[in-house]
């Protein structure tokens, strides 16, 4: 199983505003644009998936730090891993986010190493986690909504709905691409690659 977290902004902007103006119009109200600080707010979610299926999508209510991540691992990942891999033969993969490498998190994994194996995440290899592509699918689905979510509750609901509607074929293609991704990483020796 793999996991990852992603932040979804309520309002999107690329930070660039292009306005055609004449020299004397620089301070005219029609040549100015208001800004929305922090994009109107955001929702952070954490998810896991196995090679067979998408797992739960969990809203992270506070800043994701080592304590909240450990709570998520202990309360969400551990029971699922025990149920799915009762022989202790399951594998769990996470990226190199600072909260994942925290001492208390690493100690927890050491205490539970008989329950499943934590895969080491190679440095500079974000392409090995196909969930990044699933986040893109979810974000693309949300951008296509009409009307767009107007508050954080609507955004959270849209994220969950889009996650549940990721086509099975998309998920299958990502899983089938893993041998090619791994081969590309090995061939590139941590350098840039196509994926």
CA 165-167-84 angle, 5° bins? 85
- Who wins on pLDDT, 185 or 125? 185
- pLDDT at residue 14 is higher than 50: no
Which of 112, 170, 104 lies closest to 138 in space, CA to CA? Answer: 170
Residue spans of the domains in the chain: they are 41-189
**What is the mean pLDDT of the segment spanning 99-125?**
85
Among all chains, which residue has been given the structure tokens 């450990």? 70
Instruction: Tokens 């699922």: give the residue.
Output: 80
Q: Smallest Cα–Cα separation from 2: which of 175, 129, 149?
A: 129
Global pTM?
0.75
Greater model confidence, 19 or 165: 165
In this prediction, residue 3 carries a pLDDT of: 82
The CATH number of 41-189, from 3.60.15.10, 3.40.50.1820, 3.40.50.2000, 3.30.420.10, is: 3.30.420.10
Q: Are 139 and 43 in contact (CB under 8 A)?
A: no
Which pLDDT score is estimated for 76?
Answer: 86
- Mean local confidence (pLDDT), 75-99: 85
């Amino acid at each position: 199983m793999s996991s990852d977290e992603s932040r979804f902004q309520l309002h999107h902007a690329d930070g660039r505003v292009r306005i055609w103006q004449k020299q004397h119009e620089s301070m005219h109200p029609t040549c100015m644009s208001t800004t929305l600080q922090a994009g109107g707010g955001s929702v952070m979610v954490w998810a896991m998936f196995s090679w067979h299926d998408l797992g739960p999508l969990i809203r992270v209510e506070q800043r994701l730090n080592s304590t909240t991540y450990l709570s998520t691992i202990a309360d969400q990942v551990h029971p699922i891993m025990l149920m799915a891999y009762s022989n202790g033969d399951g594998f769990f993969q996470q990226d190199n986010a600072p909260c994942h490498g925290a001492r208390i998190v690493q100690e927890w994994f050491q205490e539970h190493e008989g329950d499943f194996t934590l895969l080491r995440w190679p440095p500079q290899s974000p392409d090995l986690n196909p969930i990044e592509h699933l986040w893109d699918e979810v974000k693309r689905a949300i951008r296509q909504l009409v009307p767009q979510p107007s508050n954080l509750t609507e955004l959270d609901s849209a994220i969950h709905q889009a996650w549940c509607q990721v086509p099975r074929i998309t998920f299958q293609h990502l899983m089938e691409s893993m041998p090619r991704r791994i081969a590309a990483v090995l061939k590139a020796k941590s350098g840039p690659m196509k994926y």
